Amino acid sequence: MLTILLATRNRHKVREFNRLLRVPVRLLAMDRFPQLRAASENGATFRENAAKKAIAVSRRIPLPVLAEDSGIEVKALGNRPGVRSARLAGPAQDDAANNRKMLRLLADVPRSGRRARYVCCIALAVGGRVVRFFEGTCSGRIGMKGRGKAGFGYDPLFIPNGCTRTMAELGSRVKDRISHRAKAVAKLEDYLRKFRSNGI
């Protein structure tokens, strides 16, 4: 069985990747390797951040490495917060603080002007080199208030297109079909299935 290191210590992401990946892969998290340090997420794009993290870790460990960067882009905010999604309210803040800041920024924006999309970019690196990128998006809008307790990040605010409930109200079964991360992981799965006969 192929063993891959997921370059994150974010437990939410580890659980979600384990749910989403439906190929025979052993997925390890960075908690198993305390000597490893992730690269700083100071790139200008999701792809740049994912590549930096994957390359940095894959230079230090003889395993294929997956690294992911994701966030939310809000049209009324000029596609911010983007790569700064996790730090919208400040570097030491949490999801609840980020959601409160988002609602403050959009306080004067009507429902019709709250278009947004989640973006996910996954980089696969081996030996300090990116082999492939896998990207997915999920479009929707930002609600007028937070609703629901499932998920993480901006899920209590984000209402996917075609839905009346937030991602946090839809739950993992629906989220795992429509989310930005689910779409990126589906492309990764296709690649890993080909790997079994062709090699990374």
Into how many domains does the chain fold? 1
Amino acid at 84: R
What pLDDT is recorded for position 88?
96
Residues 6+ apart with CB under 8 A from 108: none
C-beta of residue 50 within 8 angstroms of C-beta of residue 4: no
Residue 59: give its domain's CATH number.
Answer: 3.90.950.10
Pairing mode, if any, of strands 2-6 and 65-74? Answer: parallel
Which SS3 state, helix, strand or coil, does residue 49 take?
helix
- pLDDT value at 99 more than 70: yes
- pLDDT value at 9 more than 60: yes
C-beta of residue 103 within 8 angstroms of C-beta of residue 145: yes
Q: Tell the burial category of 23 from Cβ atoms under 10 Å away from its Cβ (0-12, 13-18, 19+).
A: middle
Amino acid at 187: K
Mean pLDDT of 155-180: 95
Q: How far is residue 18's CA from residue 26's CA, in Å, rounded to a whole number?
A: 9
Quote the Cα angle for 76-82-84, to 5°: 120
- pLDDT value at 198 more than 60: no
What 8-state DSSP symbol labels residue 101? H
Looking at the chain, the whole-number percentage of residues with pLDDT higher than 70 is 97
Q: How far is residue 96's CA from residue 94's CA, in Å, rounded to a whole number?
A: 6
Residues annotated as part of the active site? 69
pLDDT digits (tens, 9 = 90+) for 175-194: 999 999 999 999 999 999 88
Query: Helices 180-198 and 11-20 meet at what angle, rounded to 10?
Result: 60
Q: Please, what's the b/e burial string for 55-68 (b: 16 or more CB within 10 A of its CB; e: otherwise)?
A: bbbbeebebbbbbb
- pLDDT value at 197 more than 70: no
What pLDDT is recorded for position 135?
98
Q: How far is residue 95's CA from residue 160's CA, in Å, rounded to a whole number?
A: 19
- pLDDT value at 37 more than 80: no
Q: How far is residue 150's CA from residue 68's CA, in Å, rounded to a whole number?
A: 21
65 is in which domain, residue-wise?
2-198
Mean pLDDT of the chain: 92
- pLDDT value at 52 more than 80: yes
C-beta of residue 157 within 8 angstroms of C-beta of residue 146: yes
What pLDDT is recorded for position 142?
98
- pLDDT value at 172 more than 70: yes
- pLDDT value at 124 more than 60: yes
DSSP run (H or E) holding 137: strand 129-142
> What band does 195 get if pLDDT is binned at 50, 70 and 90?
low
What pLDDT is recorded for position 200?
58
Query: Which range, of 129-138, 141-150, 189-198, averages the lowest pLDDT?
Result: 189-198
